[in-house]
Amino acid sequence: MCHCGAVGWALASRPARLTSCNCLACRRYAALWAYGTRESVTITAEADATIAYVHGDRTLAFHSCRVCGCTTHWAGLAPHDGEWRIAVNMRMADPAAFADIPVARFDGAVTWSYLD
């Protein structure tokens, strides 16, 4: 849930790993992403509760709370391999909820591959 509580999310299952990406946007958001599909992630918010930011290759919309500014999730703007992808920012959760989940480092800045 974001700082003010206007935007929340729930995952259908516990993620096996989280991703820390070093692309221009993710570095600034300091996000830890847990991936899913629109069917496996529930976003709880009023229809106009987030502001969507689209940049670069225009394949993702990063959503931030209109009130407190926290980046809560991103959503794919087109299906990827037949699925509508979404990722939630685990930094919005209690740290104890994800402390034991491994974090993979993704090079979204240069090689577009996992570093570990």
Tokens found for residue 56: 């670069």
Tokens found for residue 12: 């259908």
- Dmax (CA) of the chain: 38
Tokens found for residue 93: 């959760």
CA 97 – CA 68 distance, rounded (Å): 22
Which class does domain 8-95 fall in? mainly beta
**Could you tell me the pLDDT band of residue 45, with boundaries at 50, 70 and 90?**
very high
Question: What pLDDT, in 10s, does the model give residues 79-113?
Answer: 989 999 999 999 999 999 999 999 999 999 999 99
Average pLDDT, the chain: 96
* For residue 19, pLDDT beyond 90: yes
What residues have CB less than 8 Å from 63, skipping those under 6 apart?
7, 43, 50, 51, 52, 53, 71, 72, 73, 74, 75
Mean pLDDT of 29-52: 96
Domain ranges, ordered by start, for the chain: 8-95
